[in-house]
Homo-oligomer: A and B are copies of this chain.
Amino acid sequence: MMKEAKRIPVLEVFGPTVQGEGMVIGRKTMFVRTAGCDYSCSWCDSAFTWDGSAKADIRMLTAYEIIEQLKELGGNAFEHVTISGGNPALLPQLGELIDSLHNEEISVALETQGSRWQNWFWSVDELTLSPKPPSSGMLTNWSVLDDIVAKLIAGKSSFCLKTVIFDQADLEYATFVHLRYPNVPFYLQAGNGQLKETEPERMLPYLVERYEWLIGQVMPNPELKRVHVLPQLHTWVWGNKKGV
């Protein structure tokens, strides 16, 4: 009897496009977005992955089927795939997809909030842990995050921490995160509070203002010294449009 391939709940496969944020900002990449999340952040830009609104669109795909779709869309023009969610760390079966991509000489970036560990974290080429600040309405489980960070450091993984910032309380949270894990590359990202806006022309001045505000907050702060401050570049170009 053949071993049945473990299926992955997928909501979007798109690209090639540029990664719009974080440690691989600008990188040419394909995206795979998985369904399901253990969080429900107030400002989540992909709430359809967990709020039930796109339940009918979830496709249960094997790693092989996902790679076929990536090739159909990206042809021979990519060698990098970003897995996002939802929270992909809910899916132990992702290890097979990551290994299969590596077998095709494709690198893999992945983002998760750092609420669950998976052994395949060690295989991800660029792993982003994005603990959620107070404005999200979520609570961080520090002992879980401590454990994940310790395992990644022990495994010499290439990873970073990233926190989205909307306000002063978020900045204080980010400072706490950075001081708790001072040797992990740290990214502060200006939050997008205009998720309903459909006109990029109207969004752009708002997003630039938020980014400039965040720069102004971080630059004089001696506790936030070894950091990156970035916007979500894709929203500057495409607003809230999906699939780009």
A96 CA to B218 CA in the complex, in Å?
29
A45 at the interface (CB under 8 A from B): no
Contact of A237 among B17, B78, B215 (CB under 8 A): B215
Contact between chains at A228 and B26 (CB < 8 Å): yes
In the complex, A233 Cα to B25 Cα: how many Å? 12
Please tell me if A27 contacts chain B, counting CB pairs below 8 Å. yes
With A and B bound together, what is the CA distance between A236 and B233 in angstroms? 11
Interface contact B75-A225, CB-CB below 8 Å: no
CB pair A75 B222 closer than 8 Å: yes
Q: CB-CB < 8 A to A27: which residues of B?
A: 227-228
Asked if A17 and B215 sit within 8 Å, CB to CB, the answer is yes
- Mark out the residues of chain A between 181 and 239 whose CB falls within 8 Å of any chain B CB in the assembled complex: 187, 201, 204-205, 208, 211-212, 215, 218-222, 224-231, 233, 236-237
Q: Is A80 an interface residue (CB 8 A)?
A: yes
- Contact-size category for A: 35 or more
CA distance A244 to B4 in the complex (A): 57
Cβ–Cβ contact A227 & B77, under 8 A: no
Task: Indicate if the CB atoms of A225 and B77 lie closer than 8 Å.
Answer: yes
Let me know if A53 is at the binding interface, CB within 8 A. Answer: no
Chain B residue, CB-CB nearest to A187 = B26
A219 and B16 contact, CB distance less than 8 A: yes
Interface residues in chain A, defined as those with a beta carbon under 8 Å from any beta carbon in chain B: 15-18, 24-28, 75-80, 187, 201, 204-205, 208, 211-212, 215, 218-222, 224-231, 233, 236-237
